Amino acid sequence: MAPGRADGGSIGPAGRPARAGWADLRLRVLSAIILAPVAVAVVWLGGVFWSVLIILAAAGLACEWVLLCGCRLTTAPGLAVPLAMIAVGVVAAERVAWALPILALTCAAIWAIARTTPSPDSRRPISLAAGAIYIGITCIALIWLRHDGLAGLPNILFLLLVVWASDVGAYLAGRLLGGPRLAPRISPGKTWAGAGGGLLAAVAMGYIVAMCFALSSGGVARLSWRVALVAIVLGVAAQLGDLLESAIKRRFGVKDSGRLIPGHGGLFDRLDGFLTAGPLAALLALALGPGVVLWR
């Protein structure tokens, strides 16, 4: 029997991943059918609905991070992380300019609480604070990005759909084609074919989104190279986020970050790409200025 892979597949001859089974595909599809329409509807509504969704997601991610660190949510250090994310999200929704200073203060407070509280959780003050920064920056970025009255909706939809397409394309290409491993020491299940398939899917979805918004506004749907460039940049960022999460799970010795989403695992397993692509999209939007879509 071939040795096991991190994603449940197996390693074939010469260290190459064998084509993985499709046992988890049904659960993945069912989860997507339920969750994707809800997410798109909330993106469309925007405002408080989007802010609440991001704050809840950040709090859930924070809870998973605490457990990944081997800490408990019932202690002061463990409870401080999700509470800090809620506070940062609320501030970002009301006064985004204050959000980063509040995040810095709360992360310092988490570190101090973990250092001074007499509990086993005091062993990981830096890990707890680092997780708060990791999640908090994305929380701020996604709330700020959607709050742009003119470009918020197209930018968030472009980001979400490109990252989703990258994930799906990588999943399908990796299982259909197999081939050499992308980063065997970090995630043995990922292949170069999967990475390439993910980027192709990201570019295709980017063009679809850009063309739909161009046609809906009465403009001309042009296949600009900028669409492909931004889609590739966000797709690469999403795949790096996936690898980073794999490295984190290896560091803490776990296979999945949780069991909240059938077929995917925890929130980290589903949102890892957005944790890196989200802040990058926000930086790009900041550089372009208010009211400008990411691909122009």
Whether the per-residue pLDDT at 3 is higher than 50: the answer is no
Token pair recorded at residue 88: 């940062």
For residue 151, give every residue at least 6 positions away whose Cβ sits within 8 Å of its Cβ, in sequence order, or none: 285, 290, 291, 292, 293, 294
Residue 175, pLDDT score: 85
Residue 13, pLDDT score: 40
Residue 189, pLDDT score: 82
**What are the residue ranges spanned by the domains of the chain?**
30-147, 149-296
- What does the pLDDT average to over 229-254? 91
More confident residue, 182 or 205: 205
Whether the per-residue pLDDT at 121 is higher than 60: the answer is no
- What does the pLDDT average to over 128-139? 96
- What does the pLDDT average to over 89-98? 95
More confident residue, 124 or 46: 46
Check the CA dihedral 119-120-125-128 and report its sign: negative
Of 30-34, 260-264, 281-285, the range with the highest mean pLDDT is 281-285
Residue 209, pLDDT score: 94
CA distance 279 to 29: 27
Residue 2, pLDDT score: 34
Q: Which long-range contacts (CB under 8 A, 24 or more apart) does 234-237 make?
A: 234/159, 234/162, 234/163, 234/166, 234/202, 234/277, 234/280, 234/281, 235/162, 235/163, 235/165, 235/166, 235/198, 235/199, 235/202, 235/203, 235/277, 236/199, 237/273, 237/276, 237/277, 237/280
Residue 12, pLDDT score: 44
CA distance 125 to 255: 23
**The Cα angle at residue 285 between residues 139 and 195, in degrees rounded to 5:** 75
pLDDT in tens, 58-88: 999 999 999 888 888 888 989 999 999 999 9
Confidence of residue 96 (pLDDT cuts 50, 70, 90): very high
Whether the per-residue pLDDT at 25 is higher than 70: the answer is no
More confident residue, 1 or 103: 103
User: pTM of the full predicted structure?
Assistant: 0.86
- What does the pLDDT average to over 240-269? 77
CA distance 179 to 23: 20
Which runs of consecutive H residues, i.e. helices, occur in 46-146? 47-68, 76-94, 99-116, 125-146
CA distance 16 to 54: 38
Which runs of consecutive H residues, i.e. helices, occur in the chain? 25-45, 47-68, 76-94, 99-116, 125-146, 152-177, 192-216, 225-252, 267-288
- What does the pLDDT average to over 16-21? 44
- What does the pLDDT average to over 124-133? 91
For 265, counting Cβ atoms within 10 Å of its Cβ (0-12 exposed, 13-18 middle, 19+ buried), the class is: buried
Whether the per-residue pLDDT at 14 is higher than 70: the answer is no
Q: In b/e form, how buried is each residue of 184-214, taking b as 16+ CB within 10 angstroms?
A: bebbbbbbebbbbbbbbbbbebbbbbbbebb
